Structure formats: C-alpha cells, structure tokens
Amino acid sequence: MPKLELWQWEVPDPLTGRWRKTRYRMTEAEVRQRFSADARKLEWTREVRDGDPEANSTSAFQRNGAGSVRR
C-alpha cells in the first residue's frame, strides 16, 4: 500500500514578504504547485498516511476569488 508523507510548510507572503505557516499539511509537490519554490518544510510536522494518495490530498479543493474553498 502506498504511503503519503505530508508536512506543514513556511511560505513567503507575496504582499508583505513575511513568512507564514500553512494551515494544512501538504506533499512537496502540492506546495511547489500552489506556492513558490522557496517554501520551507517544517521537519517536526511530518505525518505519514496509508492508502490512496489522491484520496488524502487537499488538491481536490479549489479556491475562488473570495478566499473560500469549494469542491
């Protein structure tokens, strides 16, 4: 059964330049796609899940312009 490694990340805010922590744990591929390539992994936040990687992903959610999330 495949394993999925998830982490919380620090990403730079494009408006202020300050670093902020992501709310949800994401894979490295997801964070590189949603944010910038200079995101930093928070090593102590590692979570390993068993099962289908697509079922455990947060990429199924899309953001609309108002900041809310929808499927």
Given a cut of 60, whether residue 12 has pLDDT beyond it is yes
Mean pLDDT of 23-51: 89
38 CA to centre of own chain: 13
Instruction: Please report the pLDDT score of residue 71 as a whole number.
Output: 52
For residue 10, pLDDT over 60 is answered with: yes
Encoded tokens for 52: 């289908």
Q: Measured between alpha carbons, how far is 66 from 47 in angstroms, rounded to an integer? A: 30
**Does residue 62 surpass a pLDDT of 70?**
no
